[in-house]
Each structure stands twice: as structure tokens, then as C-alpha cells.
Amino acid sequence: MINITGYIHGANTPIGINVRKGFPIYFDERIKDQPLISVSAGKVGRSVRLKQTDLIDLVKGKYIKVRKVGMSMKKIERGARFVAQNKELFRCPTCKAPFSKVEKTTVYCIKEHQFDLSKKGTLYFDQTWCQE
Ligand SMILES: [Zn+2]
């Protein structure tokens, strides 16, 4: 990290990286609503707060649309899709009824017992997870 940005892990600052290295700086467009923003000041544990628009001007930042691409999200979404498409493979461990629907990452049986998929997309039938 230090070879690329000039900063150690935990101390990377968009200001220093832009000024010293000339890298383009991109910001999640969802920060547009925030009047103030805090960023690292270039040392671990040190930060600086400034007007969000001043930071954008200072580093010639660009707003971009950021998508969630974390592996855990992908796995949990894959898991939810699999269960939704293969409901007949499962039975509610509480009432033995078939599953009726999957909403986001929660699986419901026809009697509305519900089970959450783990972040890794696994469905655990631990009774303590069942909410009646
Ligand atoms: Zn049930």
C-alpha cells in the first residue's frame, strides 16, 4: 500500500494521495447529501472534517455510482435465489410445511415461520432462529 499511495494501511487520505501522487479520487455519489465529510488526515487515528464540496474541489473528485460487490452479498443473494427456485426441496423444521416464499434473504413457510439466510448464503434450521 505504501508503495502505491505513500501511506500505510489505515492512513490513506484522498487529499494526500491526490496532491502527492496525482491519482484521481472518486466518491460514492450518496455523499452528495452530506454537508460535512471526515477523511483520514494521513496518519493512523487522525482525521480531518471539511465541507464535502470543498473536499471534492480540493481533490478534483468525481461522484460515481457505487455498486455493492462484496462476496458475502453475492453469496447471500445466490443462496436466496437457490432457495426461492427450489422451495420444494425444503420443509419448515418447525411445522413441516413447505416453504412459500423468499423475501430478500428471509425464507417463509406457508405458516409464516421465518428463517434468515446467513451472509454466506447458508440456511441454518436452528430452532432458535425461528420466529413465531
Ligand atoms: Zn413452519
Fold classification of 2-64 (topology level): YbaK protein (3.90.960)
Nearest to 42 by CA among 19, 62, 66: 19
Tens digits of residue pLDDT in 48-74? 999 999 999 999 999 988 776 555 557
Determine the pLDDT at residue 74. 72
Q: Is 12 helix (H, G, I), strand (E, B) or coil?
A: coil
Task: Please tell me which residue, 123 or 41, carries the higher pLDDT value.
Answer: 41
Q: pLDDT tens digits, residue range 76-112?
A: 888 888 889 888 888 888 898 999 999 988 999 999 9
Interval 8-40: pLDDT, tens? 888 989 999 998 888 889 898 999 999 999 999
Q: What pLDDT is recorded for position 128?
A: 46
- Cα-to-centroid distance, 86 and ligand 1 (Å): 17
User: SS3 helix, strand, coil % of the chain, rounded to 5?
Assistant: 35, 25, 40
The pLDDT score that the predictor gives to residue 132 is 45
DSSP of 40-76: E-SSTT-EEEEEHHHHHHHHT-EEEPPPP--HHHHHH
Ligand 1 center–CA 127 separation, angstroms: 11
Residue intervals in the chain for CATH 3.90.960.10: 2-64
- Cα(128) to ligand 1 centroid in Å equals 13
Q: In this predicted model, which residue has the larger pLDDT, 33 or 3?
A: 33
